[in-house]
Every structure is written in structure tokens, then in C-alpha cells.
Amino acid sequence: MNRNKTMTLTGKGESWKATYVVTHQDKVNAKFTVFQDALGGRLKLQYLGKDPLDHGQINYRLEDMTGRFQEGGIVAGIDHAAMKETKGVLDLAHLLDMRNPNKDLTIQIEWNGHREEFQLGLPRKISFGKAVRKRKE
């Protein structure tokens, strides 16, 4: 049996859009009585700039409110915009703690002599689906 809990933080700057998805996964195997708890984070970067970005090195640093970070580099036109050769560790358990109201991340992106920094956070509205209304008779 698998149980997943996912939290998505998004942000947008002038030239970049970033999405960071944190997944908490519990795996329970009843046959062998194995319990595995895993936390994972995944960064997606999207270039929004007007100038073509078909070459060059893109460096990023993603930092949480506790000062922990992940940073890495992407080669434009070769690598997918995902975490690659990262250094550091974000405090994912802290991000998933629902009692912690401060979940914002800061991302810094450097590319071809340019630099941009912006915040990633939870969506302003969190929807749990539509409530069923009872009809008045």
C-alpha cells in the first residue's frame, strides 16, 4: 500500500518560472512488514525570456527559510531543466509540516550574464473540490 502527500510551490520572475514539488511517500508492505518513508523534491524551470536560450550554462540555487539549499547547473539545449548535480539538501520535512506557516523558497538563477531572484510559495487558494449542496424541498 502506498500513501502519497504532495505539496507544490510555484513562483515566477521576469524571465523564469519555477515549480518545486515535494512528495512524501509511505510504502507499507504487509507481506514482509516493511515500512519505508521517503521524501523527494523535484524542481522544474521554464524560461520565459524574449532572447533565445539555446546555449550557455544556467546555474540555480534554491533555498528554504532555514538556510538549507540545493544548487546545481544546467547546460541549455542539452540538459532538461531539472535538478542535476545538486549540492546541499533542503529541509523537506519542514516544508511538509502543516503547522509551519512559512514555506516560501527563494530561487536564484544565473544565465548568460543575467541574474534573477524570486520567491516560490503555495498557491493563494487551495481547493478541496466542490461541496455538495442539499436541495431545499
User: Mind listing the pLDDT tens digit for each residue in 74-122?
Assistant: 877 665 544 454 556 777 777 767 666 677 889 999 998 999 999 998 8
Domains, the chain, with CATH or none: 2-120 (2.60.40)
CA 11/CA 17 separation, integer angstroms: 6
Contact 62, 69 (CB under 8 A): yes
Contact 78, 120 (CB under 8 A): no
pLDDT digit string (tens) for 1-17?
556 677 888 999 999 99
Residue 34 has pLDDT above 70, yes or no: no
pLDDT digit string (tens) for 112-126?
899 999 999 887 665
pLDDT of 109 reads: 94
Averaged pLDDT, 67-78:
80
Q: Decide: pTM greater than 0.75.
A: no
Alpha-carbon dihedral angle through residues 90, 96, 97, 101, given to the nearest 10 degrees: 90
